Amino acid sequence: MNRIGRRGELGRVEASSYLSDEALVGLVARGDEGALGALYDRHAQLAYGVARRLLRDAQLAEDAVQEGFVNVWRQASSFRPERSRAASWILMLVHRRAVDLVRREERRRADAIDERAELVADAANTEETALSHLERELAAKMLAQLPDQQREVLELAFWGGYSQSELADRLGVPLGTIKSRMFNGMARVRALMEDETWTTANSAN
Amino acid sequence: VDDCEQRELTAGYALGALDRDDASRFEAHLRRCKACAAEVEAFRDALLVLAHTAEPAEPPAELRGRILAEVAPRAIDRPRRSFRSPFRWPLPALATGLAAAAACTVIVVVGTQGSGAGGPAALLGEPVAAEVALQPTGIGRILVGRDGKVVAQVTLHRAPAGKAYEAWVMPKGDAQRARPAGLLRGDGTQTVVLSARAHQGDVVGFTLEPAGGSPRPTSPPVATAHV
């Protein structure tokens, strides 16, 4: 007979409203599907927005979100809260599925950045909160501080799903240059996050 | 980290931008190099900045349910091969016509997820003696009170037309003495009070039965817990 644990008095519904993302991932690792639902409620809108922008197809974007969240369930026990935020881990899992899908659907490949008009139309469907607007402005401001060549490589990889060698071909520069631009760009973003104390993403919790 | 020659690949890996060959080599490297593994995880947070330049969009309402149905109560659609019931069920037990006639217990559905006041422990109305996860993992759990009252919180697909889920309490290893403990339709997460009491050594289980219920289980369990 298992003695009741710390979780004993904690119904799922009550738990979901105040637990951190990281704690919810911990519950998911113990098979709590209510906790997965709570993570979905917090992150699915951004995840779906990311997947749609990358895939430009509502059905494929749904597939990416679904497979991403199923991977949250399957891989929850490997998540290390001391190393990265749960939000970025979840978004990475969805993004990774979206990249797999976009690589399969070659023709849909984004010319990553110049599709903003279409995206704005999509966004009209969502009531954007003041907070998410703030986050978007902050994110854009941070990326604007990167040297153009670094930003270009990050955006094409993230939104176009291009691999490093594809980027080298596309931009006509050596593979080694792409690798170092990507590394330096990511390192710069990370440093900016520390400067800016990227708190807004977490305060959504 | 600085002296690892693979270090430069950490950023590309976090971005999902490594070429296939690089990615598989680098994954092998990550298993050996803790510094690079930590670096990859730290770079993940930088993805948040890129992600946040997207406009959030409302996914179709049914997507959430599809995901939860995929991760949790698989057993109804296709039983998980890995799931072995801890006890044997008499199969098949009775003709369904006879079974339906035996529907004498009605489960009290006291709340579904989202409406629970106080949670399952409050519904028990007696001190909690045990909390046991239902198998397969993720399908739910039961709370057993000091005097044997059982509250189950269980997530099931809606039962097919003409069928219902029936709860059972039985001594371990003796399905012939299974006592019906109520019926539920199953539709998302439900918190239910069973109409039979359970004690240490008993098994609580759910099977899919004709809508009126059966006096004995007639199908393999979709969920079980050993008290």
CB of A142 within 8 Å of a chain B CB? The answer is: yes
B 149-168 near A (Cβ less than 8 A): 153, 155
CB of B98 within 8 Å of a chain A CB? The answer is: no
Q: What was the pLDDT predicted at A179?
A: 95
A148: DSSP letter: H
Q: What was the pLDDT predicted at A197?
A: 61
Q: To the nearest whole angstrom, how far is the Cα of B140 from the nearest Cα of chain A?
A: 8
- Facing residue for A83 by CB, picked from B41, B70, B118: B41
Q: What was the pLDDT predicted at B15?
A: 93
Nearest CA in chain A to B199: A1
Task: Name every chain A residue with its beta carbon within 8 A of the beta carbon of B7.
Answer: 183
Are A84 and B46 a contacting pair at CB < 8 A? no
Task: Name every chain A residue with its beta carbon within 8 A of the beta carbon of B41.
Answer: 80, 83-84
Euclidean distance between CA atoms A3 and B130, whole angstroms: 5
pTM over 0.80? The answer is no
**Strands of B25-127, DSSP E:** 108-112
Q: To the nearest whole angstrom, how far is the Cα of B220 from the nearest Cα of chain A?
A: 22
Q: What was the pLDDT predicted at B45?
A: 86
Query: Closest Cα partner for B150 from B174, B179, B176?
Result: B179
CA B175 vs CA A176, B178, B227: distances in Å: 67, 5, 15
pLDDT under 70: residue ranges of chain A:
1-18, 106-132, 196-205
CB of B109 within 8 Å of a chain A CB? The answer is: no
- Facing residue for B47 by CB, picked from A91, A135, A165: A91
Euclidean distance between CA atoms A185 and A174, whole angstroms: 17
CB of B121 within 8 Å of a chain A CB? The answer is: yes
Task: Name every chain A residue with its beta carbon within 8 A of the beta carbon of B17.
Answer: 157, 162-164, 167, 182
Are B44 and A193 a contacting pair at CB < 8 A? no
Q: To the nearest whole angstrom, how far is the Cα of A157 from the nearest Cα of chain B?
A: 6
pLDDT under 50: residue ranges of chain B:
1, 74-117
Euclidean distance between CA atoms B5 and B31, whole angstroms: 15
Q: What was the pLDDT predicted at B153?
A: 86
Query: Cβ–Cβ contacts within 10 Å for residue B72, how many?
Result: 25
CB of B31 within 8 Å of a chain A CB? The answer is: no
φ, ψ of residue A197 to 5 degrees: the values are 35, 85
